Structure 1
């Protein structure tokens, strides 16, 4: 069993076992001393079903249309219009740069355009005048009033005027292009949002000199995000677009359902992996760009089997036999009422002492939280916490007091990280202290130590128990 799983079930005992040392246990302990030696364990009911086959990958969250904002010019900043967290529309001003030089260049370019246009208009008027004179001369030449030499001279002047006019027109076009370029540069002194979305990672201040390599912001649309995962060459043949994906968000203690949207057909030469993308609606802002998440992608199912939690599997250290402890009288001789949800402050009560027995099982398939086994039946109650308290060298049955739990409680604990588990323990201990000593008082070290020993005595073996469970 991994370190996390060992810690998980140690904490599970601390969270649920402490609550059992109060009112419900007190009378039984006072009636006789035999209950003090009866171990307390937790159990869930085995299910019939199939085990999903899935791969777990690490992913990074990116906003939809996530882009970095860079200036086009190298100039000092004179105003910052957008702050981190602001929502802006496409075209809104984000940063203003110094613009005096560009305004002067625009005025110069406008003057050049006017000069070029005036020269072009003069060349055009000269051309029209010569063309009209040529027409009159051609009519006179037809009547022998003008010589052929004079006619050819006018024709040459007209061609020269056409060339001058075309040259003047080209000069106008060059001047207009220069003006357009200068106007574009002037417009670029205002850095605008290319898309509508939220602004983040501000990296600009008034007076700062920026250039095209300076990243000013990162922005994107947070209403939908993309989770990018790396698919290794081992997974490559299993993962396909359209497959179901579950995104674990430990920061929010949430699991989101989505599907693989697209996947690169090429493996990287360096990492031997391909990138897959999962698009996720994000109106509730559960995912934030830059988050690291764990993603489970299902690619099939195992054969039908009896499904038990991984924590129910126990390896007998004497025989190396793998199996589970079952409580055969639960649900038959002893009625069981399991709530749909679990309340740490009001856990299900422990049963009276009931026999438990070890049964060897064959593991047919194994997932991240559950296993499919053969050797027990669906509906059997299997012990998930406290197996070490039940093991003995003779193989005889051991009576135990069983706390039946819903599957949802067990699976939620298995999803928690180490830090979350420890926080749960601390919160639970604080609540117990308030209930016992009040909000304004605190126990001394001696009373606290004795209280802790009394309330957690059934759980004192949790650490050794968890380590010896299934590796």
Structure 2
């Protein structure tokens, strides 16, 4: 007869054995349910469809505005100021008399020389008549003509001295603040007032010598001045043929229209020179470019896979890069998970950014 305890032990062992077998069977069944050989992972990536956009390569530089023409008004001779014919800050036309010096003595000298000229001319006419009658020699006629020429030259000289009593506008421009008064004595070194042509103006800039080869006449310049957000434009018309040995810069000048007088000579300027313009540039985020030892590449989404595309890059910043070769408008580049991708990897675009343009790279600073 079996002992009851022994019967319970065998019953429990049988149950445990059955449980182990069931677990083993479940484990085998799970292995058989999975894909044999492993499945290929599909990676979710962000993409950007390339759209061509205008792009201007610019160089940032600083400089200052200058008057197109600028002189200090001074008399040509010493004398006492008789009259002042301008208002400070007035726009005047070329040739206008601005200051008149006393010149009664010079006026009298002109009149005396003109009288002597008339006398010499009458004598010359008389000598010519006598010569036609063969009453005098030809040499006497020549002497009379010479006297007329000398008298005429003395008249011209006297008039020239009289003209020096007038200070005239050398060109159309604006008169500055005067430093003299009526009745004051002046000399050729006395400053009367500054005189400037304010339309157009000159913009003088200095750019690093490494950019000198890109600077040429007709280059467009964009700039702003303190106190206004308005952007002004100008055109390069000349540059210094040499490089400054101290600053290692090239000096250039641009001409700027100033019809409304908003710009003032001497103003500090922050300018950008448009070195080049591309109407259909391809600009992509810098993070989409994979650097290499010999070449740079970009991943392009094509037919659900990542395709490696070799590219040639141009100007770039931390945010954007200009693509010179390797991509075309309409290409869809991958902009995320770049380090995890490989050629031919299966991808699924998530959050594609359509044809949104990318901000152009910032211009290099001088």
Structure-to-structure mapping, 1:320-335, within 5 angstroms: none
- In structure 1, the partner of 2:251 is 275
Note if 1:290 corresponds to 2:266.
Answer: yes
Q: CA shift at 1:373, angstroms?
A: 7.4
Distance (Å, rounded) in 2 between the aligned partners of 1:236 and 1:258: 18
- In structure 2, the partner of 1:306 is 285
Distance (Å, rounded) in 2 between the aligned partners of 1:82 and 1:283: 22
- In structure 2, the partner of 1:365 is 316
Query: Structure 1 length normalisation: TM-score?
Result: 0.46
Root-mean-square deviation (CA, aligned residues, Å) is: 3.5
Query: Structure 2 length normalisation: TM-score?
Result: 0.57
Q: CA shift at 1:214, angstroms?
A: 3.4
Deviates more, 1:53-62 or 1:92-101: 53-62
Q: CA shift at 1:51, angstroms?
A: 7.8
Note if 1:248 corresponds to 2:224.
Answer: yes
Distance (Å, rounded) in 1 between the aligned partners of 2:96 and 2:184: 21
- In structure 2, the partner of 1:112 is 116
Q: Is the 8 A contact 1:51 1:307 kept in 2?
A: no
Give secondary structure in 2 for the equivalent of 1:293.
Answer: strand
Q: CA shift at 1:90, angstroms?
A: 1.9
Note if 1:260 corresponds to 2:260.
Answer: no
Distance (Å, rounded) in 2 between the aligned partners of 1:264 and 1:182: 43
Higher strand share: 2
Structure-to-structure mapping, 1:71-82, within 5 angstroms: 71-82=75-86
- In structure 2, the partner of 1:195 is 171
Q: Is the 8 A contact 2:205 2:252 kept in 1?
A: yes
Q: Is the 8 A contact 1:80 1:204 kept in 2?
A: no
Asked which structure has the greater CA Rg, the reply is 2
CA deviation map 1:15-50 (0-9, x unaligned) = xxxxxxxxxxxxxxxxxxxxxxxxxxxxxxxxx989
Distance (Å, rounded) in 2 between the aligned partners of 1:66 and 1:280: 16
Distance (Å, rounded) in 2 between the aligned partners of 1:106 and 1:188: 13
- In structure 2, the partner of 1:341 is none
Note if 1:178 corresponds to 2:154.
Answer: yes
- In structure 1, the partner of 2:127 is 123
- In structure 1, the partner of 2:141 is 165
Q: Is the 8 A contact 2:226 2:268 kept in 1?
A: no
Q: CA shift at 1:183, angstroms?
A: 1.1
Q: Is the 8 A contact 1:106 1:183 kept in 2?
A: yes
Q: Select the residue among 92, 97, 103 that pairs with 1:99.
A: 103
Distance (Å, rounded) in 2 between the aligned partners of 1:178 and 1:274: 51
Give secondary structure in 1 for the equivalent of 2:211.
Answer: coil
Q: Select the residue among 188, 192, 200 that pairs with 1:224.
A: 200
Give secondary structure in 2 for the equivalent of 1:246.
Answer: strand
| Alignment CA distance shift 1:121-1:260 (3 Å) | closer
| Alignment CA distance shift 1:243-1:127 (3 Å) | closer
Q: Is the 8 A contact 2:283 2:321 kept in 1?
A: no
Instruction: Flag structure 2 segments of 5+ consecutive residues without an equivalent.
Output: 1-50, 288-314, 323-333, 337-361
How many residue pairs end up in the alignment? 247
Instruction: Flag structure 1 segments of 5+ consecutive residues without an equivalent.
Output: 1-47, 132-157, 309-363, 379-410, 412-471
Q: Is the 8 A contact 1:51 1:371 kept in 2?
A: no
Q: Is the 8 A contact 2:286 2:316 kept in 1?
A: no
Give secondary structure in 2 for the equivalent of 1:222.
Answer: strand
Distance (Å, rounded) in 1 between the aligned partners of 2:244 and 2:120: 56
